[in-house]
Amino acid sequence: MKNFILLFVVAFLAFSCKDAKEAQVEVISPEQVYEAVYGGDSLQLVDVRTTEEYQVSHLKNAQNICVTNDDFKEKAANLDKTKPVYVYCQKGGRSAKAAQILKEMGFTKVYDLQGGMENWESKDLETIN
């Protein structure tokens, strides 16, 4: 009986850890995002800031889908759920929110730029003006 209980607990923990891992968003450094953007990989890069912020500067090949707009989910639904999605904002707060929404929508690989544009720019990495 003790073996059965132990087996049950181990199985429960294994499945719980797997579900928790799948629900996570990976927060990555500016250097890792730079590598993905300029490494020739096919990726979906989303600037979740306002249109005004996007127009001041943004990352190469980024599309602007503002997370605070009512149509965020509608526009995000046009992205490919099977391909990696990289999100960023100014400091990291809005992108964390957007990343969680994307995971809830069923996106399989979501990456969030740690520290947002401020961190990116502090590393003197290229932006589009």
Per-residue pLDDT of the chain (129 residues; tens, 9 = 90+): 555 444 444 444 444 444 444 558 999 999 999 999 888 777 899 999 999 999 999 999 999 999 999 999 999 999 999 999 999 999 999 999 999 999 999 999 999 999 999 999 999 999 998
Burial class (CB in 10 A: 0-12, 13-18, 19+), 104: exposed
Does residue 94 contact residue 48 with C-beta atoms inside 8 Å?
Answer: yes
Residue 14 placed within a domain: no
Instruction: Say if 58 falls within a structural domain.
Output: yes
CATH number at residue 57: 3.40.250.10
The domain containing residue 43 runs over which residues? Answer: 25-122
Tell me if 44 is assigned to some domain: yes
Determine the Cα–Cα distance for residues 125 and 105; give it in Å rounded to an integer. 31
